Each structure stands twice: as C-alpha cells, then as structure tokens.
C-alpha cells in the first residue's frame, strides 16, 4: 500500500488530537501539526516564533505565506514520501487547501482524503467547560467555536467539491470513534 496523506478537521474539544495520534500510530504516517510547530518556534524564540506569537495569542491566523512555507518545507522531507502524513491544523482555509494541493503536486503526491471529526457544538462546549481552564469561559469558548465555523465551512466545501471529504461521528468512546475512522480510511485506501 502506498503512503497515505490525510487531513483531519474537527472543532476544539472534538478529540482530534487524541485520534490523530492513534491514526498516525496505526498507519505509520507522520503527524504534522502546524499548531505544534508554531508553539515550538515560539518556545525556541526563532524568527518564525517571533513573527507568529502575537497573532497566535490574539487567536488569529498566521499569514498564508508563512504557514504555507513551513508546511512546504516539512512535506518535502523524505520521511513524508516514505511514510505518508496526517495533517492536523492545516489547511485552515480554502486558499491553504489550494496551496497544499500545489505543494504535494510538486512532490508528485496528492491528498488521499480529508476527515471531518464531527462533534456537535453543544457537546464540545460542555467538554471544554468541564476542563475548567481559566481561559475557557463560556463566552470565550463560543467565540472560538464561531470563528472555527466561519473559517472551516469553506474548507469543508473545498474538500467536498474535490471528492475528498468524509465525515465521521465523533460521539462515543475513544475506541468507538477510532474504529469509525479506521473504517473510512480503509474504505478509501483498501
């Protein structure tokens, strides 16, 4: 089987992080999280980190030129061609999806599929409230979720229009959700 190149989408609190780790382990593909890469750059105080930190703190999006550049550089490494990739946090916009298609195209690769891990807004709000973090007031949570909705709706349309979108019900136990993910991935790649 050739290497898979997956994109995972899901609201904050959808379990996307946990399931991403399980998928990358099960399929041997490389988990690439742009949020993790940016946080590492901020922690290391690199030029990129300095450019990104204010935008990240304000909850905005880092500019396409910067983020596309980071992703292009990471995807060009040989481990991705060998093992495949699970992209988490990228693309965030339809423009970034266009960029991803171009980046992979130049490497002779293509997107296998995008999975939307779907957990209703009410449920993720409750989950985040239950974490009890100080930045998780109900209002702040609702604002972040609204922003996600606005940004992601066109992205879902992009993947749908390209015949690449699968939606997976994210309600249930971790194991139940993982089984559903495996089913849709295997159905595409099997």
Instruction: Please say which residue, 38 or 115, places its beta carbon nearer to ligand AMP.
Output: 38
129 DSSP assignment: H
Is 39 known to be catalytic? no
Phi-psi region of 118 (alpha: psi -120 to 50; beta: other; left: phi over 0): beta
Could you say whether residue 145 binds ligand AMP (CB under 6 A)?
no
Task: Outline where the chain has alpha helix (H).
Answer: 16-27, 34-44, 47-57, 64-75, 78-83, 94-106, 121-131, 138-161, 174-189
Is 22 known to be catalytic? no
Give the shortest CB-183-to-ligand AMP separation in angstroms. Answer: 25
Tokens of 23: 């998928």
Cβ atoms 90, 75 nearer than 8 A: no
By beta carbon distance, the residue nearest ligand AMP is 35
Is 131 known to be catalytic? yes
Is 143 known to be catalytic? no
Instruction: Please say which residue, 38 or 164, places its beta carbon nearer to ligand AMP.
Output: 38
Is 74 known to be catalytic? no
48-67 footprint of ligand AMP as x/- string (CB under 6 A): -------xx--xxxx----x
Question: 3-state DSSP call for residue 21?
Answer: helix
Count, residues near ligand AMP per rule CB under 6 A: 14
Cβ atoms 117, 9 nearer than 8 A: yes
Which listed range, 84-92, 145-153, 159-167, 180-188, lies at the site for ligand AMP (CB under 6 A)? 84-92
Give the shortest CB-96-to-ligand AMP separation in angstroms. Answer: 6
Going from the C-alpha of 44 to that of each of 39, 50, 74, 75, 118, the distances in angstroms are: 9, 9, 18, 21, 34
Q: Which of 89, 100, 136, 178 binds ligand AMP (CB under 6 A)?
A: 89
Choosing from 5, 11, 74, 92, the catalytic residue is 92
Tokens of 112: 């296998």
Q: Which residues are catalytic?
A: 16, 92, 131, 133, 144
The footprint of ligand AMP (CB under 6 A) covers 34-35, 38, 55-56, 59-62, 67, 89-90, 92, 96
């Amino acid at each position: 089987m050739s290497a898979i190149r997956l994109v995972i989408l899901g609201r904050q609190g959808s379990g996307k992080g946990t399931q991403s780790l399980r998928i990358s382990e099960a399929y041997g593909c490389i988990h690439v999280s742009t949020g993790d890469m940016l946080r590492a750059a901020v922690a290391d105080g690199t030029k990129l980190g300095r450019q990104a930190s204010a935008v990240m703190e304000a909850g905005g999006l880092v500019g396409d030129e910067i983020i596309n550049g980071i992703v292009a550089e990471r995807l060009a490494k040989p481990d991705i061609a060998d093992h495949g990739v699970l992209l988490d946090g990228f693309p965030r916009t339809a423009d970034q999806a266009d960029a991803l298609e171009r980046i992979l195209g130049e490497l002779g690769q293509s997107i296998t599929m995008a999975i939307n891990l779907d957990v209703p807004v009410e449920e993720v709000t409750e989950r985040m409230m239950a974490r009890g973090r100080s930045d998780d007031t109900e209002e702040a949570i609702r604002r972040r979720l609204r922003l996600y909705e606005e940004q992601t709706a066109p992205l879902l349309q992009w993947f749908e229009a390209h015949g690449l979108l699968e939606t997976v019900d994210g309600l249930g136990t971790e194991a139940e959700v993982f089984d559903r993910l495996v089913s849709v991935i295997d159905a595409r790649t099997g």
